[in-house]
Chain A
């Protein structure tokens, strides 16, 4: 699987390259600046891009802008955005096109190599990987939403894990319950929120994110 990596801090860039290569990824390019990233994404068409939000030359949101622009040029281009902090505003911008293949994680999620590479693979496959912090913020800004308030605590846990982009199998593994139980909860959640149920993991996640993103 070919990866384009954009990270301006040398140590972190080398660390990420080592980590990804150790887990069987091929680094197509490792770049430092926004314009370089832009070029690499459009020319190399990697299977997935791992991008830091803040990049030279402006040290503002160069990385995010480049990623959004590349996704406009190449719809559905899988991009996993890493940052020192997560912002609802950026998450909503990434999710706005509703086509999946996006991720937005805090940089320290890299510490857990297994979960991180899992997230990269998920995004590459057209799924999503949202940081638990992002989901918590999205849920908090939907605090007044009545259908959401009607969920049971267990259903809420399932919803949170699902919104992070996990499949039913993964949710079951995390909550130590059977896959059947998860799918029962999922059906109930979708009924309460008035969403059309789907067998496809990715489509289910996108429906939930679209629901949370609507206000």
Chain B
């Protein structure tokens, strides 16, 4: 289901006002209540006018769907009845474009976010026997682009769903504009005698058109007709908000992709991110293995050899033995240093000991830049999430130091609405581009494992702002340390 964001702001403001009123003294209460009613009435009135306006706009937009609908119907008919297969893809692409426009409009006008779940571009796979496969079809020769398009557009249930919306868009548009039509009708009707008189005065004849507005053929309007037209005017204005809301909901419902299309999309995404996560993991393990093999392991072997030699030398050359022992101690210190570096790369100590906020502070301290950190984390995130965010921030800081020519960086870490959000802003020269092979794509891929996203804003001349957002739940802060008041 689409996510509904719009609410009754007017009544919320009203109840807030009423609450503050209740807390004040009795003296001014009546006047305040009066003020509050007036404000409420004004809000309601402005909402009605907005809704009328919106209804007209929606109607105009729905007129735009007539041509694409005709094209889509004609093209699909010709495609499936006469085999003119090249017609369907462009027509369905146009349908998709219209649906996308409507989704954007719904988000803007009603705050309803309608998800999209189209199938991705069809990829062609070469089979071992030299044939080609796309979708469920197997062909001898390499399929052409139009074939792939045809396959993609005609087999995607989400696009057929869009076509269903397109065919009812005009009806819905008329519905949305109905209140506005009622208002116009009521308004013009009131002035029919005046118009009749004016037309007459200018030398025009009587018109049967007046009867459209319940008037006599000469333009006379009886008072019950005045009353009826007035009622029309009034009900038009008061129904407008409800009608536009109904329009929004229906449109959103029609545009929401079918459940299984959304599930398919989710499965595709999970498969991709899982593969990425496994690749990253495997690469990481290989790196650790190599580091241990070339570093600590080799040094321990050398130390063992040295100690063996010391055993031999102890009796007859204590001086040489002593030198070898010093050398062994040096080697053990080096091995420790290497292990420390390795551990820091696997799981940084501050992160393990203090959590994300302090770990980011430690990063800020160790950075050559002036980094200010603000944080608001009431608890700790899951360790894998913490670790992913930590390394992302670390990489972002390195990026800033390397490319941005900035001195100052601001990092903000906080948790709101079920998501962990980290913002890294620098005052550098801007112009960062995620597609140009900076580490941003890699960060994005690693965050995707946790359904996290990365947003980049980097105009030429700066500032650059990178925002990371991951859905996550915080555990309550640990309670084991109780030294506070000791």
Q: Chain B 351-394, CB within 8 Å of chain A: the 1/0 string?
A: 01110001001100111101000000000000000000000000
Contact present for B481 and A62 (CB under 8 Å): yes
Looking at the assembled complex, report how far the CB atom of B258 sits from the nearest CB atom of chain A, in whole angstroms.
49
A89 touches B483 (CB 8 A): no
User: Across the interface, do B480 and A57 meet the contact criterion of CB distance under 8 Å?
Assistant: yes
Q: Answer yes or no: B67 CB below 8 A from chain A CBs.
A: no
Interface residue B329 (Cβ < 8 Å from any Cβ of A): yes
Interface residue? B64 (CB, 8 A):
no
Q: Name the residue on A nearest B361 (C-beta).
A: A89
B115 within 8 A of A: no
Q: B382 CB to closest chain A CB, in angstroms?
A: 16
- Does A38 contact B486, Cβ atoms closer than 8 Å? yes
Interface of A, helix, strand, loop or mixed by DSSP: helix
Which residues of the other chain, B, contact A38 by a CB distance below 8 angstroms? 483, 486
A 32-43 binary contact with B (CB < 8 Å = 1; else 0): 001000100010
A69 touches B366 (CB 8 A): no
At the interface, yes or no: B156 with Cβ under 8 Å from chain A? no
Closest to B337 in A: A108
Q: Say whether A45 faces chain B, with CB atoms less than 8 Å apart.
A: no
Contact of A92 with B365 in the complex, beta carbons under 8 Å: yes
Contact of A108 among B336, B365, B486 (CB under 8 A): B336
Q: Is B120 an interface residue (CB 8 A)?
A: no
Please report the C-alpha to C-alpha distance between residue A61 and residue B352 in the assembled complex, in whole angstroms.
Answer: 9
Q: Mark B313-333, 1 if CB is under 8 A from A, else 0.
A: 000000000000000010011
Measured CB to CB, the closest approach of chain B to A109, in angstroms, equals 9
Q: Are A88 and B486 in contact (CB under 8 A)?
A: no
Question: In the complex, what residue of chain A is closest to B365 when comparing beta carbons?
Answer: A88
Contacting pair B480 A58 (CB below 8 A): yes
Complex alpha-carbon distance, A102 and B411, angstroms: 31
Q: Is the CB of A54 within 8 A of B365?
A: no
Pair B362/A88 contact, Cβ less than 8 Å:
yes
- Quick check: B407 and A89 within 8 Å, CB to CB? no
A38 to B370, CA, bound (A): 36
B140-157 interface code vs A (CB 8 A; 1 in, 0 out): 000000000000000000
Identify the closest chain B residue to A60 (Cβ): B353
Q: Are B354 and A141 in contact (CB under 8 A)?
A: no
Check if A85 is an interface residue, CB within 8 A of chain B: yes
Q: Does B216 contact A (CB under 8 A)?
A: no
The verdict on A69 contacting B483 (CB below 8 Å), with A84-B349, A85-B349, A108-B333 known, is yes
* Shortest beta-carbon distance from A144 to chain B in Å: 7
CB within 8 Å of B: which of A67-108? 68-70, 72-73, 83-85, 87-90, 92, 107-108
Instruction: Choose one: B353, B366, B480; the contact of A141 (CB below 8 Å).
Output: B366
**Is A111 a contact of B332 with CB atoms below 8 Å?**
yes
Whether B481 and A143, one on each chain, are in contact in the complex, defined by CB atoms closer than 8 angstroms, is: no
A140 to B350, CA, bound (A): 19
Query: In the complex, which residues of chain B have a beta carbon less than 8 angstroms from the beta carbon of A83?
Result: 349
Q: Are A141 and B365 in contact (CB under 8 A)?
A: yes
Among residues of A, the one whose C-beta sits closest to the C-beta of B478 is A58
Which residue, A53, A83, A85, A140, has most C-beta atoms of chain B within 10 A?
A85
B343 at interface, CB cutoff 8 A:
yes
- How many angstroms from the CA of A108 to the CA of B365 in the assembled complex? 24
Instruction: Provide the bound-state CA to CA distance between A14 and B280, in Å.
Output: 41
- B residues near A65, Cβ cutoff 8 Å: 481, 483
B residues in contact with A140, CB < 8 Å: 366, 368
Query: Chain B residues with Cβ under 8 A from A60's Cβ?
Result: 352-354, 478, 481
The interface residues of chain B lying within 8 Å CB-to-CB of A61 are 353-354
- A: residues with CB less than 8 A from B are 34, 38, 42, 53-54, 57-58, 60-62, 65-66, 68-70, 72-73, 83-85, 87-90, 92, 107-108, 111, 137, 140-141, 143-144, 215
Residues of B within 8 A of A (CB): 329, 332-333, 336-337, 340, 343-344, 349-350, 352-354, 358, 361-362, 365-368, 370, 407, 478, 480-481, 483-484, 486
13 contacts between A and B (CB under 8 A): A60-B353, A61-B354, A65-B481, A69-B483, A70-B486, A73-B486, A84-B349, A88-B366, A89-B365, A111-B333, A137-B365, A141-B367, A143-B368
